[in-house]
Structures are given as C-alpha cells and as structure tokens.
Amino acid sequence: MRYLPHTQEDIKEMLSVIGVDTVEALFDAIPASCRTTKPMNLPAAMSEWDLNAHMDALAATMASSREYRVFIGAGSYNHYIPSSVPYLLSRSEFATAYTPYQPEISQGTLQGIYEFQTLVTRLLGMEVATASHYDGATGLSEALLMAVRKTKKKKVAVSALCHPFHREVLRTYLGPAGVEIVELPYGQDGRTDLAALEALDDVAAVAVQSPNFFGVVEHLNEFSDAIHAKKGLMIASFTEAIAWGLLKTPGSQGVDIVAGDGQSLGIPKAFGGPGLGLLASTKALMRQLPGRLVGTTTDLDGKRGFVLTLAAREQHIRREKATSNICSNNGLCAMNAAMYMASLGGSGFKRLAQINHNKAEYLKRQLMAAGVEIPFASPTFNEFVAKFPQGFESTYDRLLSSMVVAGLPLGRFYPELEGYYLLCVTETLSKTDMDQLVKEVTE
C-alpha cells in the first residue's frame, strides 16, 4: 500500500503550476539508461513484529547488539508496541497537553482522558473508570481505602498472591490509617484460599489478584459471593492487563472495584517504570473514587464538549472531604494506553491475549515433557511456576552470562518456594527462544 496524500486533482493542479503535463516528465533530465524500469526485487511483506526481528538479526551480524531473552514478567511485561503509538504520543499536543481544569482551552486533553476511561471500562467490564493513577500499587491502595470509607469497617483481607510490592505499598498506605490487613494464604492449586476469607468477620473488603502473582487465574466470582454475604466489597487487582482480552471481565464476576497496572498497554518497561494505575468501579461507588473523572456535556450552542465531572482532590474541595491527595492522573501514560488499545481494537486485543496464553502453554508443556515439575495445575495466563532440579542456581547464572534470564526466583518473596521460578512468555519470545531455554535448563 502506498501512502500518498495527494488526489489526482491535487497532482494535476501542481503540475500545471510548474508547467509540465505528467509526473514522469519531471524526470526527463535523467538519462533513460540511468533509470530503473523494472520493479524492485524485494522480499514479501512482513508484519511489524517480523520486520523488527529481521532487522535485529541483521544488526547482530554486524555488531555485538544481541539482546537479552527475558523470561520474567512479575508485574512488568515486554510487549510489542505498534509504531503508530510512539509516533502519535510524541506529537506536541499530547506531550505538552494543557491542564484539564479549564475546559475551554483543553478539549483535546479532556477528550483523550474520556476515551481512555471508556476503553478501560470496556476492557474490565465496569461502569466507571478514573482518569488514571500513578501505578497499580497505589490504585489498589486507593480501592481498599474506598471500601473502608464505604463500609465504615477497619479490617480488609488481601490475598498473599497479590504482587509482593503491591502488598508493601498497602501496608504503607493503610497502616497509618489504622486499617488491619489480614493476609489470605494460597492453596496447593496455586489459588487464594477461599475458606480463609469465609472464616473472617467484619471485613470491609477482600482484594484478590487475577491472574495472580503465580500467573494462575482466580475464581473471582466465588470471592464476590463470599464477601458480599459479609456486606463487604470485592476488589480485583491485576498486573497483566492483556489477560482481559481472553478472560471473563471482573465486572461480569460480581467485582465492585478493579485496580491494576496498565504498563502492558503500550508502555515500555524502561528500567522499572513508569507504570499506569487503572481504577474502575460500579456506579454505586462512583463518588468514592479518588482522582478525576471526565464526562461529556453540551455547550450553549448545543455542541458536544468534555469537562471534569468529578475531581475529589484536596485542590478542588475541602481537605477533610477529599478522597485522596496523591491521585493526579498519569496523563501521558494514560494517553499512551488509550492509543495502544485503539490501535489493537477488540479483535486484535483478543488475538494478542490468545498468542500470549498459547506461547506460555507451549513452554510449560515442553518443560513438563523434559521432566521439570510444574507445581500448580490450575489454568494460567502468560506466567507459571516451575521447580527446577537441585543445583539449578549454577545453570541460572550460566544462562544469565549468556544473556538469558531464566525466570524469577520465588524464594525471595515466598521462602517456602525456594528453588521455584516464575517464568513468563509474551509474544516477543519466539519458539526458537523457548526451545533453546528448555534445552539449556534440562541438559
């Protein structure tokens, strides 16, 4: 496909101005013997993914530019980013957008946030979404504070399979507020223990991550039923937003609040940041949401416009009435995520999620066939836990020196899982990469 913006009428008008009849006449000064008359001998067209891989392979033959093959996710995921996204995001009207407080001169910013909110609610199956937050950890903390305010209870239950870093942030957030955090253990299936929640009383909310830190898909509907029976709120968290292209949405499973990280939505890993906090809820909890919500209205002439509908921050209302004081929207990252979701579309998002799932399942089955233990039999998305033979640490170090990161050691976060590793596969890893890993770790 050729990308020429001029119509035939445009071309004819330009040619008449410079005094020639055809475009070919512009090249009359070049001798015919110096012109190419045959089509260029080019290979078949490639997808953007394949073309990038091909260019990387060519570069590797000329210099020591080989990249690490990283089999780690654990809250920060490597995904291909369509070239359209960084191009559009670099435009000055997005990179230097005006603050949305004055709608008369910030319609573009407000519309961008509105579109982001719309895409997030569709992705998560919820009714209302905020303009975004710093990251998934702060979003989850705000969700639990919402539940405490709504129910007037000072105890919350949190799955031990929520991201360990998120749980640290929760303790920092909720501790000074006098909120008790009860940690729910996990079972032999790699899922959060539902019975532990059922044994609790006077709980404001339960927070369960799905897919959880082990990559296992949780039964969110069961936790929703259990916590609602206790007059509490169900909070679902996540770190891998791509999973919702394949899994049932949290909203369809009775979840009241969803909090997660949108780094997977077109945001580069960039040495650990930035992230993007996603926070959505039912309409019944809309006024408990911190941060900004953008809505639509009509002006005096009846034209559609965008405005800040709610802004429950201390800058806007009395401090004692503010729901949060650190919830400015992560504007540029939210715009980035909106562009990414719009670029993929619904069918593309689902297809990408399927690819991630299938690739991880392929690696899992190849490792099992090679004798590696997979301790949790529950369904997973693009991450899973593997137990390698004793003495694997030396193999891990050897692979690391060869620019292969063979998973995340789990003993640091779960002492009982010393010798277990969390592996992740996204669309960026090839079958050759996975086969080579299996060969290396099982020799």
pLDDT in tens, the chain (443 residues): 455 678 889 999 999 999 999 988 888 889 988 888 888 888 888 888 888 888 888 877 765 556 789 999 999 999 999 999 999 999 888 877 667 777 778 888 899 999 999 999 999 999 999 999 999 999 999 999 999 999 999 999 999 999 999 999 999 999 999 999 999 999 999 999 999 999 999 999 999 999 999 999 999 999 999 999 999 999 999 999 999 999 999 999 999 999 999 999 999 988 777 899 999 999 999 989 988 899 999 988 999 999 988 876 555 666 666 666 565 678 899 999 999 999 999 999 999 999 999 999 999 999 999 999 999 999 999 999 999 988 899 999 999 998 999 999 999 999 999 999 999 999 999 999 999 999 998 87
- Does residue 27 lie within any of the structural domains? no
Instruction: Choose the final residue of a domain: 314, 341, 368.
Output: 341
Domain count within the chain: 2
Q: What is the CA radius of gyration of the chain?
A: 26
CATH number of 351's domain = 3.90.1150.10
Are residues 351 and 319 part of one domain?
no
| Tokens linked to 400 | 């690391």
Are residues 235 and 110 part of one domain?
yes
Are residues 109 and 65 part of one domain?
no
Whether the CB-CB separation of 156 and 183 falls below 8 Å is answered with: no
- Does residue 20 lie within any of the structural domains? no
Amino acid at site 197: L
Q: Where are the alpha helices (DSSP H) in 103-211?
A: 107-124, 136-151, 164-174, 194-198
Are residues 267 and 122 part of one domain?
yes
Give the other-Cβ count within 10 Å of 271's Cβ: 6
| Tokens linked to 300 | 């005096």
| Tokens linked to 107 | 């319609």
Angle between helices 331-369 and 431-442 (to 10 degrees): 50
Residue among 358, 417, 381, 360 nearest 215 (CA): 381
CA distance 442 to 124: 39
- Does residue 19 lie within any of the structural domains? no
- Does residue 14 lie within any of the structural domains? no
Are residues 362 and 292 part of one domain?
no
Are residues 361 and 419 part of one domain?
yes
CA distance 409 to 406: 9
Instruction: Choose the final residue of a domain: 341, 359, 385.
Output: 341
CA distance 282 to 9: 53
Instruction: Choose the final residue of a domain: 341, 376, 394.
Output: 341
| 161, 162, 222, 434 from 165: Cα distances, Å | 11, 8, 25, 28
Q: Which domain does 408 fall in, by range?
A: 50-81+345-442
Give phi and psi for 291, each to the nearest 5: 85, -155
- Does residue 28 lie within any of the structural domains? no
Instruction: List all residues 6 or more positions away from 365 whose beta carbon is below 8 Å from its beta carbon.
Output: none
Are residues 101 and 55 part of one domain?
no
Separation of CA 364 from chain center: 22
Q: 3-state class of 235 per DSSP?
A: strand
| Tokens linked to 352 | 């990408």
Are residues 423 and 387 part of one domain?
yes
